[in-house]
Structure 1
Amino acid sequence: MRKTGNLIPAVAFLRGARMLSLVAATLALSLAVPAAAQQVFPSPQAAADALGDAIARSDADALQRVLGKQYQLLVPQGSIDQDDVYDFLGAWARHHAVQPEGDNRVRIAVGESGWTFPVPLARQKGGWQFDLPAGQQEVRRRRLGRNELVTMETLLQLADAQQRYAEQVGQGRYARRLISTPGKTDGLYWPADSEQDASPLGPDALAMGPETPAADAFYGYHYRILPATPGSDGGYGLVAWPARYGDTGVHTFLLGSDRVFYERDLGSGTASRARAMRSFSPEGWKRVADR
């Protein structure tokens, strides 16, 4: 899944996603480490200390003892860099603390933003142990939520790009496609030789179209520009749907030129239903918010 780009660099909630990526980078260090029994700790604080020490030392054996032999399945590998490692360790050094959730479950807060390590601690006979299955569910939940939030922000950025297109090369008309026909400026993006000739949308658009492989889709979603509702004056619609339903997202989103969001769970047939849309028609969709 494509994760980087210049379209939405200021989205603050992606900090947690980068920290999750660091966990993936660190956890991926021991794919070939022999299986070891998962450790039970006398207290949540002892477990947190052991986790932080193992990550700081990049100790694959210790990580496996702390989290369990299948810990590398927590986060899919990809798009990891050293900055992620520094970010996490810096956040850990600034602040980390155990946060009880009832009598039998604890989470570990890292940094000052409220982010918590996705794998909770569960009370076991004789002490505390990291609950890896619960962590896998939490990682999936966070990934879906992150992707859907990014998608809504991206749709707003596309709406801004449509406005710029109409005011400039479109001469009052909106673009009908994301990517321009080669040699033309009939879409929101085209390659330009100079800043003066730059398109309203950056090269992230290349990862947004329906033809993009699911693994490379922009934060797990595909996008299309739709004609306005038949009978309306001008306008346009935008639709975004998960590249892999249930894995990279659940909801499909619509945004019209009035900047009103709609969402709908289209189920297992999401891709075919989204591709078959011929115009912007939010009837039967749930209105989310005005933006």
Structure 2
Amino acid sequence: MKKTTYINSQKFRSSIHAGFVALSLAIIPWGNLGFAQENVEMEVDLANMEESPQAHFGAPEELVNHLVIAVARADKEALEILFGDKWTDLIPSDGLDPEAADKFLSAWAMSNTLIPEDQTTRTLAVGANGWTFPVPIVLTEEGWGFDTDAGIDEVRSRQIGRNELSVMQALLAYRDAQFEYSSMDRDGDGVVEYAQKVLSSPGAKDGLYWETEEGSDDLSPLGPLFAEGGPDEGTYLGYRYRILTSQGESADGGAQDYVVDGNMTGGFALIAWPAEYDVTGVKSFIINQEGTIYESDLGPDGEAIVGEIEGFNPDESWSPVPVAFTDIDAL
């Protein structure tokens, strides 16, 4: 049996009848969304959906129209029909983030186009900057539908990319904070030094972050978010961190300890690695006071490898990251 798609519904509902799933979509102000002010109902052949449990259409434009309607209505059942049983890998099971949905709809209203990648693949681009929807639209024997598996991979890749850029920004912020910390004798020991930890001891200023009373001008070099999830505590931006107190032969100046007579005056360094490899990140990063970020793919055993790293030592297994690639606005 063929699936049919037609426009006539007055309500947004889902029903099952005579071997069909019918998804009815209510009237909303489509004038701002870029297509006709009409209601849409799609019928999907359940027999075909047993082999491919998601909706397919005769044209990619039809599929995209249904997507926009489903997002505007925050209809989880409609999204499940459009993306299949893996839809929760793309969208939280408790529903769409209203802010993210509004941004998507606003971008759609501003500009929307289907980019032909080849004869059987389309990419939806929206907004003034042409942001591309991560789930490709592909043509199969059943018609045009979302390639959900490819979309899941793309979403993960984009998240990893954003995490990695954010982590590089965090490393640069750590460097700035160390220089600010060492601008005066913070812990009152008579030595101007770098901090050997991020979170200060209670009542002390021996780390890059300390609690201050509201309205106080005595602000710490780092804020609480990095302190709570940074080197001393756990994960931050999908990464784990460790302060390094020495450097190896491959670093400028050769091997040396940063800590002299208990005070870290010779320099500082930080290493960051993915909390979950290939999920929260791929590359590991290191930086010292010189300011160059180096990256390396340590693989799934990165945690163990990092555990054996004693100091900042950017040998041939590490590559410098071009400054342009540390800009999170690039994504």
Q: TM-score, normalised by structure 2?
A: 0.70
Q: What fraction of aligned residue pairs are identical, expressed as a percent?
A: 38
Report the equivalent of 2:239. 221
Which residue of 95, 115, 121 maps to 1:99?
A: 115
- How much has 1:80 moved relative to structure 2? 7.5
Evaluate the alpha carbon distance shift between residue 62 and residue 165 of structure 1 in structure 2; reply closer, same or farther with a 3 A threshold. same
The count of corresponding residues between Structure 1 and Structure 2 is: 253
Counterpart residue identity of residue 195, structure 2: A
Evaluate the alpha carbon distance shift between residue 221 and residue 89 of structure 1 in structure 2; reply closer, same or farther with a 3 A threshold. same
1:186 correspondence with 2:222: no
Residues 121 and 128 of structure 1 are in contact (CA less than 8 Å); yes or no, is this contact kept in structure 2?
A: yes
1:247 correspondence with 2:265: no
- RMSD, aligned CA: 2.4
**Distance (Å, rounded) in 2 between the aligned partners of 1:79 and 1:220:** 23
**Distance (Å, rounded) in 1 between the aligned partners of 2:143 and 2:271:** 49
Residues 177 and 224 of structure 1 are in contact (CA less than 8 Å); yes or no, is this contact kept in structure 2?
A: no
- How much has 1:111 moved relative to structure 2? 1.8
Evaluate the alpha carbon distance shift between residue 92 and residue 127 of structure 1 in structure 2; reply closer, same or farther with a 3 A threshold. same
**Distance (Å, rounded) in 2 between the aligned partners of 1:288 and 1:78:** 41
Counterpart residue identity of residue 291, structure 2: R
1:208 correspondence with 2:226: no
1:88 correspondence with 2:104: yes
Residues 209 and 223 of structure 1 are in contact (CA less than 8 Å); yes or no, is this contact kept in structure 2?
A: yes
SS of the residue 1:197 aligns to: coil
Q: Which has the higher helix share?
A: 1
**Distance (Å, rounded) in 1 between the aligned partners of 2:173 and 2:64:** 40
**Distance (Å, rounded) in 2 between the aligned partners of 1:209 and 1:106:** 43
1:137 correspondence with 2:149: no
Report the equivalent of 2:80. 64
Which residue of 277, 280, 290 maps to 2:312?
A: 280
Report the equivalent of 1:15. none
SS of the residue 1:196 aligns to: coil
Report the equivalent of 2:33. none
Please, which moves more after superposition, 72-81 or 259-268?
72-81
Evaluate the alpha carbon distance shift between residue 79 and residue 48 of structure 1 in structure 2; reply closer, same or farther with a 3 A threshold. closer
SS of the residue 1:101 aligns to: strand
Counterpart residue identity of residue 181, structure 1: S
Listed one character per residue, the Cα deviations across residues 18-75 of structure 1 (whole Å, up to 9, x for unaligned) are xxxxxxxxxxxxxxxxx99421111111111111111111222322222212211225
Greater RCO, 1 or 2 (C-alpha within 8 Å, sep 6+): 1
Please, which moves more after superposition, 169-178 or 104-113?
169-178
Evaluate the alpha carbon distance shift between residue 42 and residue 241 of structure 1 in structure 2; reply closer, same or farther with a 3 A threshold. same
Query: Which is higher, the Rg of structure 1 or of structure 2?
Result: 2
Please, which moves more after superposition, 47-56 or 219-228?
219-228
SS of the residue 2:57 aligns to: coil
Which residue of 105, 118, 137 maps to 2:134?
A: 118
Evaluate the alpha carbon distance shift between residue 77 and residue 264 of structure 1 in structure 2; reply closer, same or farther with a 3 A threshold. farther
- How much has 1:77 moved relative to structure 2? 6.7
**Distance (Å, rounded) in 1 between the aligned partners of 2:192 and 2:175:** 14
Report the equivalent of 2:61. 45
Residues 74 and 95 of structure 2 are in contact (CA less than 8 Å); yes or no, is this contact kept in structure 1?
A: no
- How much has 1:107 moved relative to structure 2? 0.9
Q: Which has the higher strand share?
A: 2
- The 5-angstrom pairing of residues 163-178 of structure 1 reads 163-170=179-186, 172-178=192-198
Which residue of 291, 301, 304 maps to 1:269?
A: 301
Counterpart residue identity of residue 166, structure 1: S
Residues 209 and 224 of structure 1 are in contact (CA less than 8 Å); yes or no, is this contact kept in structure 2?
A: yes
Residues 175 and 291 of structure 2 are in contact (CA less than 8 Å); yes or no, is this contact kept in structure 1?
A: yes
Residues 245 and 268 of structure 1 are in contact (CA less than 8 Å); yes or no, is this contact kept in structure 2?
A: yes
Please, which moves more after superposition, 163-172 or 221-230?
163-172
- How much has 1:147 moved relative to structure 2? 0.8
